[in-house]
Structure 1
Amino acid sequence: MLSTDDPGAAPQTAPPVKRQLPSFLVIGVLSTLFYLGLFVAARAFTDPQVANLIALAVSAVANTAANRRFTFGITGSEGALRHQLQGAVAFLIGLGLSAGVLALLDLAVPDASRVVEVGGLVVANGLATVVRFLLMKVWVFKNR
């Protein structure tokens, strides 16, 4: 059961997966666009790895909060910090994948264009998204 701020409220249960996936996908697309926009903006003044870290850190917090509310139906502030800390595991996996892609690009194509960097990040983000959903479903926001 999922918590609310109202101790007298009926317990909430997580929506079924068939209702979670569309919400997760919409949030994922919006988060990815936000992340890529932040990456491109930060890339104007820093190297790709730092731009990636900045963009991913900011977008991951927003992504976890949005999925907590809209995908998994958890309202109220109870457990929010714990959920963000657990979501940090998904962030670290995404950071590892995206940093790895950027490092490989730097080796293979040292002067890669922003379009190539963004393309690589889209692939890494797609893989991280699958992992993020599984972690959120079975660990972060599982029925308690």
Structure 2
Amino acid sequence: MSGKPGDAGDRPLTDAERHAQGMRVRREVLGDAHVDRATASITPETADFQDFITRTAWGDVWSRPGLDRRSRSVAVITSMIAHGHEEELAMHVRAGIRNGLTREEIVEIVLQSAIYSGVPAANTAFRIVREVFATLGD
């Protein structure tokens, strides 16, 4: 790709191209099993939302060249801790590992977040991180 992020040559990506790009990035970051479960559970009520997430979050933002995926994972994990999004935190801890973060780095992210997001948020995050790590084995 050349030009601005999201451009295909000299033209902006179509919605279909953004969706395809988003699905590719989403699978690379979250893994096929997670994406397959998410797409299998799409209902008429959630179809437009899932399309929006795929095109916008994954096809646009996660596809930008300004940050590598490790850095994006640090930002997302921190945001999930700050906002108390526990289910999403577990998913993005797993994604962070797929993106090259070490367990030690994830622990440091949670510790750093305790200062800015609060001790209770970090306490919950440490519980979730331990649970995720336990599912991954050594």
TM-score (norm 2): 0.31
